[in-house]
Structure 1
Amino acid sequence: MRVKCFICDKIESIEDFSPLAKKLRNRPINTYLCEECNERIAQKTKKRVATGNFKFYKSSRKIEKDF
């Protein structure tokens, strides 16, 4: 399955029967992020959390424990 990162427009291939491919097929509102963009967003989010000005409005207890 060919997918396109919605931030950098990079086109990648993922396996047709992987859980990610199934999620993208069945729920079109989900968007795909390439590894580079995903890592960049994760790093920036961790920096914002470290400042103390960042709040989680929709969160689960697992996510809060990770930070």
Structure 2
Amino acid sequence: MKICCILCDRYFTPDKMQIKKLRKHPHRIILCPECHERIAERVRKRKKLQSLKRHPEG
């Protein structure tokens, strides 16, 4: 099974969990591992900055 990433338009083979989710919910959006990691890294950075703004040290 080949899936097309909606962000970069590259085809990739999903892992077993992604295939299972696709079969149960075919309308879901799936990202390739590279795009998923890139977005996850940005979210982690944003959350880290938000936590520093709420709890300034010093």
Normalising by structure 1, we get a TM-score of: 0.63
Percent of aligned pairs with the same residue?
37
Q: Which runs of 5+ in 1 are unaligned?
A: 54-67
Q: Does 1:46 align with 2:40?
A: no
Higher relative contact order (CA 8 A, sep 6+): 2
Segments ≥4 residues shifted beyond 6 Å: none
CA distance in 2, matches of 1:36, 1:14: 12
Q: Tell me the equivalent position of 2:55.
A: none
Aligned residues: 51
RMSD: 1.8
More helix by share: 2
